[in-house]
Structure 1
Amino acid sequence: MKKIFLLLTSLIIFSCSSYQRDKFSFRKEDKKCWVNTFKSEAFYQCLREGYQNDTIFKLIAKKDLFNTYEGFELNLIDSAKTLGSSVINKMPAPYINLDESDLKNKNFISMSCLNYYASRELDSIAKKLYKVHLKNLKKDKTFWKNYKH
């Protein structure tokens, strides 16, 4: 009995390890910044698609620059936006009873978008696309290095 108790206790301790995140920083120019910026683009698009109200984002844009990284290729921004939109387009109906009139036409938009932002799936996609980004940079540098006027 004691062995079972010790085994269960150790399983609980090791399985409940804390979720590790990086220390907050306003500006980083590295892989993590690029990956977070990509994920942020997906998050913002998810919210835009979910709320379908440009007025909200126009108000926010009066004060907010949204992302700090400016080195994104347009096709990669489009990829992030497509991913964000797909979360909303695939979102199932709420799993709770929403028969009350004030709850109709509601869903878990912000929670779904935030959970997708924090998902391993989006991390993996962003890291793969970062490699594509590095290859594109290398091609651009080679082109301009060999370019003759």
Structure 2
Amino acid sequence: MTTLPEIRRAAGADAAAVADVWLRSYTAALPTVRRGKSDEEVRAYIARVVVPLRETWIADSEGEVVGMMVLGDGPLLSQLYLDPAWRGKGLGDRFVALAKQRRPAGLELWTFQVNTPAHRFYLRHGFTEAERTDGSANEEREPDIRYTWTP
């Protein structure tokens, strides 16, 4: 972890490593949240949908994927996950800066209400809380918060 990871677009060959980061990060950051998909379903979804069809970015540290970000249609920042060993090292800041560059008109994202470190992170980056839900619209059935950023 001595060199700064390169942030680049994900390629098909990265899909398994992207899924590994997603799974490690979710497990570490959200231990009380029931996942809507099994490990196998997550891996298949990332390989078949996320990497080939979405604007997927990865942080590559000497050939190892240590972070991932997915931008959806319009202003949606749909996923941002870091390998637990890379949290607090500025990598998330770099991903958010890239998201703002790619979506200069504004961004929105959802995070679970129990994920208080994410709340602090997004507030620090200028996002504001726009809405809270009971989670009935997400596959995890977990209460969540929608944050928005407007330049």
Larger RCO (CA within 8 A; separation ≥ 6) = 1
Q: Tell me which interval the TM-score lies in, with the shorter structure as reference length.
A: under 0.3
Structure having the larger proportion of residues in helix? 1
Q: Compute the TM-score of the two structures, normalised by the length of structure 1.
A: 0.24
Q: Compute the TM-score of the two structures, normalised by the length of structure 2.
A: 0.24
